[in-house]
């Protein structure tokens, strides 16, 4: 009859069970991974948008500042809270629904956004809305009266000055300002006045002719 190997002989051969070699307080790999996963989930919950007052406070700090202004546009009084970063063209187009003023280059180069501010032509794309507080603004929508086009608008039609029409509002507003100061301009004066208004259709000759004709016909009445 064979003898059954005892514990001492098994130990000598390196067959001691792994459980005997591990400390009762040892941390398993599974426990480490489970702990790391819990930490990641907890961190994600804390950082979730809107989950903490701290996040709400941070959002409040980044909210755009607003200023209440009042201005008169085409004879109509408006009082509106504008974001301090809005330009005048944004206010006119996006919030007062006066889309006749066009946004072309958005960097004061093409003149498509020209409006009259207290009678003076300005590029609305580079003039902040808050700067217009208390001002009188005229856009292309304010040129016609009682459904009748102004003499200048009619001259543009008669001389085929508009082509695609995108630059036309700015051309009209700049020419309106010119006719108020120089009732009967010649071609050279018109060219100098409208030098900052680009026509991508290159219809400059017809535009100049229209402004000169409007001045000659109405004595400068725009």
Cβ atoms 71, 136 nearer than 8 A = yes
Q: Residue 51 contacts by C-beta under 8 Å, 6 or more apart in sequence?
A: 45
pLDDT in tens, the chain (222 residues): 455 555 444 444 444 445 445 555 555 555 555 555 554 444 444 445 555 666 656 656 688 899 999 999 999 999 999 999 999 999 999 999 999 999 999 989 999 999 999 999 999 999 999 999 999 999 999 999 999 999 999 999 999 999 999 999 999 999 999 999 999 999 999 999 999 999 999 999 999 999 999 999 876 555
Q: Evaluate whether residue 170 is within a structural domain.
A: yes
The domain that holds 91 is classified in CATH as 3.10.20.30
Q: Which structural domain range is residue 196 located in?
A: 144-222
Residue 218: per-residue pLDDT: 75
Q: For residue range 93-120, list pLDDT tens digits in order.
A: 999 999 999 999 998 999 999 999 999 9
Residues in the chain: 222
> Based on the number of CB atoms within 10 Å of its own CB, is 92 exposed (0-12), middle (13-18) or buried (19 or more)?
buried
In degrees and rounded to multiples of 5, residue 219 shows phi and psi of: 65, 30
- How many whole angstroms separate alpha carbon 16 and alpha carbon 97? 86
Please state, in angstroms and rounded to a whole number, the distance separating the CA atoms of residues 172 and 152: 7
User: Judging by beta carbons within 10 Å of its beta carbon (0-12, 13-18, 19+), is residue 66 exposed, middle or buried?
Assistant: middle
CA–CA distances in Å: residue 163 to residues 98, 150, 195, 201: 21, 19, 18, 7
Q: What is the pLDDT of residue 63?
A: 84
Picking from 91, 111, 142, the residue at the C-terminal end of a domain is 142
Using DSSP, state whether 39 is helix, strand or coil.
Answer: helix
Q: Do residues 151 and 180 share a domain?
A: yes
Shared domain for 157 and 216, answered yes or no, is yes
Compute the Cα dihedral for 152, 158, 159, 160 and give only its sign. Answer: positive
Q: Are residues 168 and 117 in the same domain?
A: no
CB-CB contact of 124 with 113 (8 Å): yes
| 137 and 149 both lie in a single domain | no
CATH of the domain at 192: 1.10.150.120
Total number of domains constituting the chain: 2
220 & 152 share domain: yes
Domain shared by 104 and 165, yes or no: no
* pLDDT score of 41: 45
């Amino acid at each position: 009859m064979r003898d059954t190997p005892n514990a001492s002989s098994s130990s000598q051969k390196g067959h001691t069970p792994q459980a005997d070699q591990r400390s009762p307080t040892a941390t398993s790999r599974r426990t480490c991974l489970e702990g790391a996963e819990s930490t990641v989930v907890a961190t994600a919950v804390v950082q979730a948008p809107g989950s903490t007052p701290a996040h709400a406070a941070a959002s409040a700090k980044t909210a755009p500042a607003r200023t209440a202004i009042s201005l008169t546009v085409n004879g109509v009084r408006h009082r509106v809270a504008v974001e301090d970063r809005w330009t005048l063209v944004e206010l006119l187009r996006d919030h007062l629904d006066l889309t006749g003023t066009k946004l072309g280059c958005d960097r004061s180069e093409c003149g498509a956004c020209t409006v009259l501010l207290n009678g003076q032509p300005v590029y609305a794309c580079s003039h902040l809305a808050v700067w217009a507080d208390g001002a009188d603004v005229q856009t292309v929508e304010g040129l016609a009266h009682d459904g009748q086009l102004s003499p200048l608008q009619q001259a543009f039609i008669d001389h085929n000055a508009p082509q695609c029409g995108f630059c036309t509002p700015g051309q009209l507003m700049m020419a309106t300002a010119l006719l108020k100061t120089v009732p009967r301009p010649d071609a050279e004066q018109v060219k100098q006045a409208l030098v900052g208004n680009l026509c991508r259709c290159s219809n400059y000759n017809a535009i100049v002719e229209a402004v000169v004709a409007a001045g000659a016909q109405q004595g400068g009445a725009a």
